[in-house]
Each structure stands twice: as C-alpha cells, then as structure tokens.
Chains A and B, each alone.
Chain A
Amino acid sequence: MWKTILRRVLIMIPELIVLSILVFLLAKAMPGDPFSGSINPKTSPAQLHRLMAANGLFDPWYVQYWHWVVNLFHGKLGMSYEYQMPVINLIKQRGLNTLWLATFTMILTYAIGLPLGIFAGKHEGKWQDTIIRVFNYITMSVPFFVVLVIGIWIFGYALGWFPTSGSISPNANGMGETILSRLGHIILPGLLGALFGTVNIVQYLRSQVIDAKHSAFVKTAVAKGVPEKDIYRHHIFRNSLLPIAAFAGYSITGLLAGSIFTEMIFSYPGMGQLFLNAVNYRDYTVITTLVLLYGFLNLMGTLISDIVLSIVDPRIRVE
C-alpha cells in the first residue's frame, strides 16, 4: 500500500523535471527577451547587452535553467509585460475565477452523471437505457467548442437567459447579489461542460450496476428480502463510489483544456482566457507560468486518482 504510494510519488519527480525543462526550452525558443517591456527608444544596444549579461542571459542553458528553477521555488515568476504586474498576482486573481468554474462544473458533472449511470444500469436494455446511451453517444461525438458556441447562441443571445460575458455583473452590490451574479455567469458554461463530461461516469457506473446485479452477493440480499432501494444504496452504489470519486483527478486534465475554450467563448476572465491573451500579446512570462501550472495540476490530478484507485483496488498495487 505505502509502497505503491511512495513509488507513484517518486515517478512524479522525473516527470516534473522533464516538464519544467520542456517549458523552459519552449520559453527560450520564443522570440524576444524579458526586457522587451521595460526598454524604451533611448536604451542603447550596449545597455541592453549589459542588462542581459547581468541577468545571466548569456550563460549556458543549464545554468539559466537552474536559476529559473530556483526563482520558481522562491515564487519569483517574473513580471507580466502586458499587465505590468507580477505574474503570481495575476494568476492568483484569474486562477480563482477558473477554480470557481471548474469546481462548479465538476459538482454538476457528478450530480448529473451519478443518477444517470445508476438509472441506465437499473433499466438495462429498456427504453430509458437507450435514451441515455443516445445521449452519451452525442456528447462523446460532438466537439466541445461547437456545443459551447451553439449553447451561447441559443441560451445566451437568442433566449437571453444567461449573461454572455464576464464573471460578475458590475451592478452587483452586497454579498447576496455578488454570489448570485457570479453563479449566474457560470451556470451556462458549467452546465454545458457537465452535460458533455458525464460520459465516463455514466458508462462506468452503468456497467458496475449491471455487473453487481448479476453477482452473488446481490442475489443473496434479494433472497433475504432486502428492499430494492437499500440494495442499490448499500450494496451496489457503495462499491462503485470510490472509483467514481477517483475519476475526479483524471478529469482535471479535461476541465483545464476545456477551460481554454469555455473562457474564450464566454469571455470569462480566468486562466484560459489569460493564456490566449498572453499568446496574442507575446507575454512570455505569463505563458510559461501557465503551461507549467497546468502541467503541474494535471500531474497532481493523476497522482491523486492513481493513489485513490490503488487504495480501492488491491489488484493494481505493486508488491
């Protein structure tokens, strides 16, 4: 048990190092230098040269890499050229918005996926099951960004039920209104994300329920006269709950990738939108930090999922 966790954490370290080298090299390959934002027409090339030398930009790449990593651990991520503020503050601000949206989407995904999966398994082969399978097939096939565009068109513009941009209305005053306005801005993107993110949960839960229905322990429970509701609650659902919860870690990757599309389409000021803006303005410090951060979050997500799954399922533990 502890061996598995230790091994999994140890594997993480080289992955993190390779990821950071990759991000560093990408940053080096980008045109321009970190001073593009702070020089003016009066700066002479000699001055710029001295500035670059003082900051170690002529050192071999591994020395530069080492300095970069050390700064990273000290929280020195550099300045954003476009926003003229430390990257770390910028990301704190935008990250919170993305966190709201992602958390809300994840909660909705489970709130929709769990009942659908159990319902489909319960009515295996009947029309209810068919409807859910058609729903799964549609959500699996259609590209997510097309869904978002169609969604904002129908519910945002045509029907006008939801706001089409921003994270909060400028007129919101007071605690209650602020919360309501924030919620109003994330309902549509969150709901669409959740509806199109349930496939894995529904399919897994459905097959679990079907397997369990035919297993000996459920048949015994039925024979002993346990009510159907209790069988589902205590015998079937409980067994599938932890693996389902473990999916949350894996789905972080999808949520983060989706956030780029969602935040662009809904003009939602989160990290995805920040990234796209940074790319358009060639704001390199922001780009590298975000790529590294997203990679790190993906890594933590899979780490947590792997560990939870190894706790639940002894078969995948390493001896």
Chain B
Amino acid sequence: MAYDFNARDELSDADLLELSKEAENEATPSTIKVMMSEFKVDKIALVSAGFIVFFIVAVILGSFFINVPHIMETDLMGYYAKPFSNYILGADASGRPIFSQLVVGSRNSILIAIGLTAISSTFGVVYGLVSGYYGGYVDLAMQRVYDFMMIIPMLMTIIVIVTIIPNYNAITLTLLLSLFYWMGTSRLIRSSTLAESQKDYVAASKVSGTSNLKIIFREILPNIASLIIVDTTLSFAENIGVETGLSYLGFGLPDGTPSLGTLISNANDPNNITQYWWTWLPAAFEIILLCLAISYVGQVLRRTADASQRRGS
C-alpha cells in the first residue's frame, strides 16, 4: 500500500492500525509463531508434545500421593505379585509395588534430567558465546579446555567421583553430571557465534560503542535463540539416558530412592528378565517412549529453525 507519509496529519487511528497490521504480516514471522504453525501441520509432533507435558505433570502430581519410605519397605506378602492382582503392575522380589516405584522413579529421573539440561545447557551456551565472540587467545584457551574434557573417560570418572563423595543426593548428582555434559552445546553455539559475529550488525554495534557483553547477550543471543531451543530439547532426550544409565549401573541415585534406571536394573537378575518381566519392562518401555517423543519434538523444532525444511507456512 503506497502511502504519502508527508500527509501524516490526516492519518486516522483506524489507518494506523491497519498499517501496523500490514507491516506485521509482511515481516518475517517470529520463531514462536513458526513453531506453532509447524506443530499444527505435524500432528505426531503435537501428540508427542502433549504426551510429554501430560506425563511430566502426571508423575509430579502423582508422586505427592505416594509415601516413598513406605513403598520401599519390604513386604513378604507381595513377593513377586503378578500384575493386575492386588498390585496394578505387580511387585518385585521385596514385595515393593512396581507402579508406585515407576511414578516416583519417573519423577526423580525426569527432574534430574531437567535440572541437568538447564545447568549444562546454560553453561554450554555461555561458554560457546564467549569463546566464539572473543576469538583469538580467549578462544584458543577455552578450546583447549574443551579438547581436554572430550578425552576424559566421562562415565568412568563420574563413577569414581560418586564412590568418593561420602554423602550425595539428587542435587549433588545433578551438579556432578552437569560438569561433564556441556561440551556438545558449547561446540554448537561457538560455531554459530563465530558465524554471527562476522555479520554487519555486530560490526555496526561495535563501532557505535556498544559493550561486548551487551552485544553477546542482547544481540547475538536472540539471533541464535531458535538453535538453542532445538539443542536444549535434544539434550533433554539424551540426558534422560544419563542418570538412568548411571542408576542402572548402580552409581546413580542412592538406594531407597526409586529411579527408572534402578527399575530397569531388575533385569540384571536372569530370573527377573525371563519370568518376572513386569519388574523391569514397564520402566524400559517408558524410557523408550519418552525419549522418542522428546526427540521427535526436537526434530520438528530443528525443522522450524531451518526455513528450507519447514512444512507449515
């Protein structure tokens, strides 16, 4: 719509409204909007996202109604109780109900995965931004640290540290794991920051005297936000495997704290794996479903971040 901007006095409120609407339509749609439209097209993604949210809310609310010390007590009457009897999903060798362990275990494992993702992604993003933006010796030094972290046998080191720390709980475990799982994010963010800081708007900001911190966090960060969202979602799916894997090996959450990993470790007993499938199979299926769903949402988000692959508008 051609408009004579010199005749500004004659512009009515209605015209202004229409003009701003038009401008909004012509502008590149915001990331959130693109994501919403992508979810509208891809029904599986919508179902996955709904499933994840419902599941997380359900286990968190559900675990309020479960008395954890009580369900972890040994109960001879429930020795390998079959599913759909007195117990919804049966009980294990100590007569502990599988269903309640599953709910509380899911809550523990998911909350640890969320905490781990939040801490390690934040650290990785800041690390990558600083390393990529400053470049030169700062980058060189930071990349040597990165290289070193990559060659450490992570799983072994974590197991050794877990055995050394005398008292540890879910929080110390999350912090410990966060020390080791930021590298992937930092590498990704560093390379996109490198590309971003070559652009004109960064040069213009530098010339006009904007402080480095402001350029990094107010200007570059928003421009790579969609990438960060994608990476965080995909790390979340991976991080579910981290704590559960450790707990499976027996070096994760302490005894008496249910976790999806400890439930699956019931399968280490050949009797359980063959005869008493209900002691471990539900937890295994749950992890598979949850990881597939989160990862699928991540894939869809990745598609929206890359304009050439979008299916929605």
Residue B282 at the chain A interface, CB threshold 8 Å: no
Question: Interface readout for A266-305 with B: 1 if CB under 8 Å, 0 if not?
Answer: 0000000001100100100001001100110011001000
- 0/1 interface trace, chain A 84-110, chain B, CB 8 Å (1 if under): 000000000000000000000000000
- Range of interface residues on B (Cβ < 8 Å): 35 or more
Contact in complex: A18, B148 (CB < 8 Å): yes
Contact present for B159 and A279 (CB under 8 Å): yes
Q: What is the 8 Å Cβ interface bit string for chain A, positions 24-54, against chain B (1 contact, 0 not)?
A: 0010011100000000000000000000000
Query: B293: nearest residue on chain A (CB-CB)?
Result: A141
Q: Which of chain B's residues has its CB closest to A291's CB? A: B156
The reply to whether B237 and A257 form a contact with Cβ atoms under 8 Å apart is no
Knowing A15-B148, A138-B292, A144-B241, say if A30 contacts B153 (CB, 8 Å).
no
Pick the interface stretch among B34-42, B90-98, B160-168. B160-168
Residues on A with C-beta less than 8 A from B294 are 141
Q: Are A276 and B273 in contact (CB under 8 A)?
A: no
**Does more than half of chain B's interface fall in helix, strand or loop, or is it mixed?**
helix
Q: Which of B2-47 contact A (CB under 8 A)?
A: none
Chain A proximity of B231: nearest CB distance (Å): 14
Give chain A nearest CB distance to B81 CB in angstroms: 21
Closest CB in chain B relative to A13 CB, distance in Å: 12
Residues of A within 8 A of B154 (CB): 257
Measured CA separation A26–B156 after assembly (Å): 11
A141 & B295 in contact (Cβ 8 Å cutoff): yes
- Cα separation A30 to B164 with both chains bound (whole Å): 6
Contact status A256-B153, CB under 8 Å: yes
Additional A-B contacts beyond A149-B280, A157-B274 (9; CB < 8 A): A30-B160, A138-B292, A149-B284, A152-B273, A253-B150, A279-B160, A279-B251, A290-B156, A295-B151
B contact residues vs A (CB 8 Å cutoff):
144, 147-148, 150-157, 159-161, 163-164, 237, 240-241, 244-245, 248-249, 251, 264, 267-268, 270, 273-274, 277, 280-281, 284, 287-288, 291-292, 294-296, 299
| 5 closest Cβ pairs, A-B complex | A143-B241, A141-B295, A294-B153, A298-B151, A141-B291
